Amino acid sequence: MQIAIDGPAGAGKSTIAKKIAAAYNMTYLDTGAMYRCIAHCVLNQIGDRFDNEDDIIKIAQSTVIRFEGNQVFCNEKDVTQEIRTPLVSRHTSDVARIKAVRDLMVAQQREYAKDHEVVMDGRDIGSVVLPDAQVKFFLDADVLERAKRRKIELDEKGNGKALAEIKNDIEKRDTNDRNRSEGPLVKVADAIVVDTTGKSIEEVYQEMKTYIDEVC
Ligand code: C5P
């Protein structure tokens, strides 16, 4: 069983993916965290030289990403918090647009899906990583609501930023993710669109559950 959840930043994908995985006894794979790990390693190793594709590819090739529960390890260092900073968020689409980086990540994601029942969230799951997933969702929400949700998360972590700046960052990120040539953010024809605007997590979950239960 494979469930693919794609959508723009802040649509609620990871929250709902974790809830579905727990309810259906499946494993959750946060593919965004993998690209975030690469951006984090790039920042640590060569600074913000995101135009240097060759070095970024070498870094991606030498980076070992591992998940343990809710923790993310990058070359055995716990980076769970570091990969969520606004700086890493801003630069992740810079590494995610590089074909060789995507190829490496997609290969690992498919390998993982071979021996796990997975709920995966990202941008290219239904289109590239798991094109044969039994259920595909495309989660969306009004951009202002997505920015407000992200602000609450950042404020809780002490990374407070103005709402307008967060909204601007999200819009830029979505534009980059939608317009790249490799694995762009796209709603595939067989994806079920779920608009999470104004809905609680439970409401979204119940809506998605009806579709999942049809194939389970
Ligand atoms: O989902 P999350 O916000 O953590 O993703 C961070 C970034 O990683 C996205 O903006 C996108 O550039 C990249 N990403 C991707 N493909 C995926 C998952 C994430 O390109 N499957």
Nearest-atom number in ligand 1 for the CA of 89 is 6
Predicted TM-score (pTM) of the model is 0.96
- Ligand 1 within 6 A of CB of 93: yes
Closest C-alpha to ligand 1, atom 20: 96
Mutate-to-test residue for ligand 1 from 31, 40, 182, 185, highest number of ligand atoms within 8 A of CB:
31
Closest C-alpha to ligand 1, atom 3: 9
Q: Tell me the per-residue pLDDT of 112-160, one tens digit each, with 9 for 90 and over.
A: 999 999 999 999 999 999 999 999 999 999 999 999 999 998 898 887 7
CA distances from 146 to 8, 11, 32 (A): 9, 6, 16
Within a domain: 177:
yes
Number of domains in the chain: 1
CATH of the domain at 54: 3.40.50.300
Q: Which residues contact 81 (CB under 8 A, 6 or more apart)?
A: 157
Within a domain: 214:
no
Range of the domain at 26: 2-209
- The helix/strand/coil state of 137 is strand
Binding residues for ATP: 7-15
Residue 131 and residue 125: Cα distance in Å, rounded? Answer: 7
Closest C-alpha to ligand 1, atom 16: 123
**pLDDT at position 161, please?**
87
Q: Tell me the per-residue pLDDT of 82-124, one tens digit each, with 9 for 90 and over.
A: 999 989 999 999 999 999 999 999 999 999 999 999 999 999 9
Within a domain: 216:
no
